[in-house]
Every structure is written in C-alpha cells, then in structure tokens.
Structure 1
Amino acid sequence: MILLASEDTSLMDRWAVAVASRGTLVRRVSQMDEAEGTLSGRRPQVLLLDLAFGDLRGAGGVANLNDFSPDTRIITMSHQPSDDEGITMLRAGARGYCNVHIDPRLLSKAVETVQLGEVWVGRRLIDRLVALVGNPAAARADADDGVDLDALTSREREIARLIGGGYSNKIIAQQLGITERTVKAHLGSVFAKLGVRDRLQLALLVTNRVRHGNPAIALS
C-alpha cells in the first residue's frame, strides 16, 4: 500500500494519478492522527508526505512518523525545496526528497526507486551529499564513530564496502556470484549489527571508515 498524506486534496489527486498505474492500493489521509493510525495498523510500503502536513514539526515529526512503521519508506515532499532541508529530511530517516509538484512520471520513478531500497533526491542535492560523504566530521554526524566494522563477517564487510561504492543490490549480486535475496539478507544483518537505518547511513559510515565511494542515490 502507498499512503498519501497532505491537507491539500489537489496535491493528493496528482500523486494518486502518478502511483495508481503501479497497481498498488493507494490510501489518502488529511489529518495527523489518521496518518499515525494507518502507519501503525497497515504498515504501508511507501508514504508520500507533504512537509506542510499537520503539526509535522520538521525533522522531528518525520522521525516520529518513522517510529510508527519503521519499514515504511518515506518520500518527503516540499513546497520550497532546499539542499539543507533535503539533507535534514534524509538524516531524519526519509528515503526521498522532492518538490510537491514533481512531474507524475518522475514521482512514479521515485516510488519505484525507494521500493527497491535506494534513495531518491534531486540533482541539485547530489553535490552536497557527495561533500558530506567526503567530509569525515560530517559523516560522523550521521554514523557513530564508535561502531566497529570488525563486528561484520567478511561477506558482510564486502557488501558494506560495495554499498559505500554506490552499487545496487543487483550489481552486488552479480559481482559476488550470489542472489539479490542473499544480498538483502546480508544487508539486514549489517543494518542490525551497525545500528544504521538504511543504505545512506551505511554508505556514510563506510566512506568515513574506508574512504571509498558514494551512497547509492537515484537522481531526479
């Protein structure tokens, strides 16, 4: 299920058209308590979240919604996108960041991208993210410097290094001669052992430790 959250029905109409062709159940909410109830009760796969929605309170509100359904991938939708806001949303746990008026074809692609476990951001944000990854001090803001990569098995370390290099699960599976399902299983173990939420945080951690590559990010 894909959940749409906004007080603007015209926006949700546009979003619904973009994602309806995917053959997935779409549900709309216009109040915060509805959003929280749907997240905790229905566990939607993706949430398209208007950042002007309810009493969201910025990054703290996004992180709070994430707590109701940790497996739901949140795409935050901004009325006035900015690099700083985008980075803040990613740090809060969002898996995507774009304009509320994004082209429907791109929105469909953004949903598909986060469903595949990747991160969706606009092209203008990519340079800031690359700079963040390349700055050890900034990277430590997203990843605890006390985390020990030696806690991983040799295969898990190899996969973590490839994630840091920006490779998709499909490419990693091809390089290592294993299935994509096995890659996902190893990633789940890596996330649990290192205490990270997603691929972006893992990439920041890995690049801080081994100075290799960039996070896997899809560009709009």
Structure 2
Amino acid sequence: MENKVLTLDDGRIQAVAALLESLGSDRFPTAFRQLVRSICSFDSLIATRYPANQPPVSLFHDLDDVQAAITVQFYATGPYLLDPLYLACKGGSAPGAYRLLDLAPEAFYRSQYYRAFYRSIRIGDEVGLLIREGGSDWIIVSLARGVRQTRFTEQELMQLRQIFPILSAAVLRHWGGKPETAPAGLLEDRLESFGADILSPREAEIVRLILQGHSTPSAAAYLGISEGTVKVHRHHAYAKLGIASQAELFSLATRHFVG
C-alpha cells in the first residue's frame, strides 16, 4: 500500500494554530501532543535537552512517578550514554523523525540496556524527533508505545517527517534556550574511562559497543575485525572486570556512571 502524503485538513490547521498560540505558555505540551496525535497515537511523550558534554535536562514528560524515576531521573545519571537516539545525535545524524528500531544495533533488543529500561516500563516501540538546538546541543522528543500496541508504521513516520519542520520550530521556540551549567564532559568521560585502568584500548572499545547493544557480529563489522577476535577480547575484558555476563557488565557500568 502506498504511503499517503500528509494533508493539512481543517482539524490539523486548527491544531497548528493552537500550537502557535500556546508558545511560551503552559498549554504548549497539550497543544503539541494534540498536533502529533492527529498523525499517530502514542502512550507517552518525553522531551529532553542534551547539552554538549553535559547530562540531559528533562523539559517535559507525562509519565507516572515510577516510570519517571527510571526513564528520567535514573536515565540522566549515565545510562543515557547508551541510548540509540542520543548516540544518533552525537554521531552526526540529520535532524528528523527516526524509529529507534532503525537506529539501534541489531542486538539492541537483547541488550541489558533494553532489559533495564524498555522492558521494565513496557515500551514496545519508540520514535524520536531529533531537533538540533545549535552546535552540538540537541532536543529529543520521544514518542513511545506500550508493548500491547502496534509499532509505528512507515506511513506514520513519513507524515511525522513531513510536519517535522513545524514541530521542530515550535519546540525550539518554546523549550530552546541556554541550559543550566553542569560539569562539562563529566559523564562522557566516565563512559570513556570505564575499565580504562585495567582493559586494553581494544577491550574497552568492545565493552562500550556491548553496552550500546551490539552483538558479536555487529561489533566485528563495526570494528572491521573477525568475530573470533571480538570474542577473545570480550572474554579477556570480562575476566579482568571480574564478571561473567552482560547483566553484570551493565550493572558495573551503571555504578561507574553514578559513582
């Protein structure tokens, strides 16, 4: 079936008008969600600023207290460094709408990061609106669906991309601005320094890829080495770290982030 081009019917025109009228007011999140919901349904919306080399800053979320404790508060202490949406921004992706499934390594849904976050709060699919705020600063608006919902379709993604310039401009006008200062590079340095005192540079590199959700084949392809070499380095790294599983690796890395 062919994808349908987004049309600005009377309902969407009114939604755009309401969004513009809400800029700078407490009505903005509601108006923003109304416009997005005219394109696709979602169960939760989270807006987060990612200043360059600083921890993320929560701008808005509609989660309950339990979900917020995991996906906002704990997430900002370091695990965000493994988020495929954040990594896409850091890696130079163009602003736009992306399904997490299209950005994540092929083994992401078997990774400990996925188990610690997505499964615990029962997220089944996610679309990120990646909005460049300037230089290396980004704002990401996450649209998530629960595990009982269908995944976002290509048509929905295409239509979000068509209206992205409006959504992006509105987000930047309402939520854009100079973030609060924080120790520059602190958590970025912690990810880079994880295991650096006992691991070889190659072992540390492979460990970081594992944390980001790469499997042995995808890590080998990314580094341009054989799968056997990856397995050897992974085995040696686990032995040096005193762990035996990916779950233990994730737990150790998390403690390193927040320590």
- Asked if TM exceeds 0.5, the reply is no
Select the structure with the greater relative contact order (CA < 8 A; seq sep ≥ 6): 2
**Normalization by structure 2: what TM-score?**
0.25
Over alpha carbons, which structure has the higher Rg?
2
